[in-house]
């Protein structure tokens, strides 16, 4: 199965006089919710949908707790999760403090199975 793309035009923010350039953008075909993920996982295994749902929720809780402890979470085929921050600089190292942090986010790095899927992904223009 191929992923559909459509062209999206973007003007240069630095020089608006330049012609518009077009970039490929993935066309979304829908969404899948947690309940459906649990149902599909249950269908492919011997575990019930309720148990799958409980495991997924617990996994998210454990990942959050581990990230709060400053750990990198390496979840095998799923990938790894790590906290990253953006902040303002200080002239001296001893001046750096939590006050410098402006935002934080979770960085996700896909695992081997995701990388393999991405390497063989097919695209089609819609």
Predicted structure pTM score: 0.80
Along the 126 residues of the chain, how does pLDDT read in single tens digits? 799 999 999 998 899 899 999 999 999 999 999 999 999 999 999 999 999 999 999 999 999 999 999 999 999 999 999 999 999 999 999 999 999 999 999 999 999 999 999 999 999 998
Segment 45-67, tens digit of pLDDT: 999 999 999 999 999 999 999 99
User: For residue 126, what pLDDT is reported?
Assistant: 85
pLDDT score for 30: 94
74: Cα separation from own chain's centroid: 14
Instruction: Please enumerate in sequence order all residues whose Cβ is within 8 A of that of 45, keeping only pairs 6 or more positions apart, or say none.
Output: 52
């Amino acid at each position: 199965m191929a992923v559909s793309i459509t062209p999206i035009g973007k003007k240069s923010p630095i020089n608006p006089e330049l012609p518009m350039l077009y970039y490929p953008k993935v066309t979304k075909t829908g969404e899948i919710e947690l309940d459906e993920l649990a149902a599909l996982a249950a269908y492919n295994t011997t575990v019930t949908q309720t148990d799958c749902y409980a495991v997924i929720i617990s996994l998210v809780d454990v990942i959050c707790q581990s990230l709060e402890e400053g750990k990198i979470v390496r979840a095998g085929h799923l990938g790894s999760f790590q906290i990253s921050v953006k902040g303002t600089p200080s002239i001296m190292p001893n001046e750096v403090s939590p006050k410098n942090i402006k935002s934080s986010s979770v960085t996700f790095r896909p695992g081997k199975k995701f990388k393999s899927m991405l390497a063989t992904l097919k695209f089609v223009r819609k």
